[in-house]
Amino acid sequence: MIELRTPAEIEEMRAAGRFVASVLEATSKAAAVGVNLLDLDALAHEMIRKAGAESCYIDYHPSFGASPFGKVICTSVNDAVLHGLPHDYRLKDGDLLSLDFAASVNGWVSDSAISLVVGTPRGEDLKLIDTTERALAAGIEAARVGNKIGDISRAIQDVAKAGGYSVNTDFGGHGVGRTMHGDPHIPNAGRPGRGLPLKPGLVIAIEPWFLHTTDRIFTDPDGWTLRSADGSRGAHSEHTVAITEDGPIVLTARG
């Protein structure tokens, strides 16, 4: 079911957005050569505890997950691009790390993701990250009253195509509110002018993710982590966005 939020409810959602942004800022800053993924999860967990927030991940068990997630942040490294389950791995120089985090504050959820290079970057990784960020910006710009879901999807797709990347539509954006995942689904490719009309009060997570040389993925033996079919690296960017008469509001804006 698609739910529209009042202006007052959107204001209430800002606290969750600020908190999610703060956790991504802290974990991104902490990510360095030699840091264990489990340490990043512990940092996010401690921030949740101190803020009195609730994790959206730790008990999350959708149909595509092998078991409850059990951690509070997704840490996807190199050829992993989505749902990376934190495990005993120390980051190495040049690793491409994607962090995806969602939490509930006072009953409202926000969801966001960021990708970065640990240590010495590769030019191709920086280009991939930049493309996901520009695709996210294009999707947000299209999230305006009077447009449709397809306009967001096509805006993302156009940036990916211009960068030379293909698009997987198995996983994409989604509605956000009292729960992490709701309607509508927002594919990262589509046709402009098609799909659900965008109305004031719709709150959505827009999340482009691309792989260097494929759009095919498979599930790691851990039952969660999604990896590229050919071993190429992936990047992921995401914000929670409220659609209003005055334009899109990025609830998870960082900095």
What is the Cα–Cα distance from 138 to 249, expressed in whole angstroms?
14
Residue 183 marked ligand-binding: no
Residue 100 marked ligand-binding: yes
Residue 83 marked ligand-binding: yes
Is 227 in contact with 99 (CB distance < 8 Å)?
A: no
In the chain, the amino acid numbered 14 is: R
* 50 Cβ neighbours under 8 A, 6+ residues apart: none
**Which structure tokens are listed for 84?**
């990376």
Residue 61 marked ligand-binding: no
Residue 87 marked ligand-binding: no
- The dihedral through the CA atoms of 22, 26, 31, 35 has a sign that is negative
Query: How wide is the angle at C-alpha 79 spanned by C-alphas 226 and 113, nearest 5°?
Result: 65
Q: Which residues are annotated as a binding site for substrate?
A: 83, 181
Q: Which residues are annotated as a binding site for a divalent metal cation?
A: 100, 111, 174, 207, 238
Q: Which residues are annotated as a binding site?
A: 83, 100, 111, 174, 181, 207, 238
